[in-house]
Structure 1
């Protein structure tokens, strides 16, 4: 397999790990996306050398998502996922947005699963105490 690793991937100064980004189409988060085979210039990527990925200014090269095959420019998170280092740039990730986006059906499903789990524990406690 011909991997197209981006060798100039930004790293965290605190722990040295690669910065996390996500696919805007499917939400897959990773620090290991591959370079897209074709960049905006139409030139095929032949190697992982930084000069092989012609980009303008401070833009990052196009990456490809292994889950949905979408090509995107990375937008890195503001906080390092490994050590918590705060970067000056990046996308702020708010966990509370996920909970606000959950529908009533999802909350009822979670509540039902918790109730079934507690009911099972109570039943086993009664049966085993006999």
Structure 2
């Protein structure tokens, strides 16, 4: 989602705040209301895809709830975890692996690196 809305950060720098759940829904409704009928087919398709994405994921945009649980809402922590779990296990010097074995390797690595005791 970050890449789809990256332009909004530059366009609305004063809006750098945590969204309330109803604000996410209002954003989706506003975007849905923009009918690009006069636009080229590629623009209409992009609008259709983004509107569908927002409709299907607006329930995940309850940022105050996520923060209250201590969950990360930015992509940086996730990307770092992927590098830690996948990159260091599968891309290390001298590492050899086959595609069919990567899922189980990553599951074990994630379990090993998590804070959940075995």
With the length of structure 1 as denominator, give the TM-score of the two structures. Answer: 0.19
Higher RCO, Cα 8 Å, sep 6+: 2
**Structure of greater Rg:** 1
With the length of structure 2 as denominator, give the TM-score of the two structures. Answer: 0.20
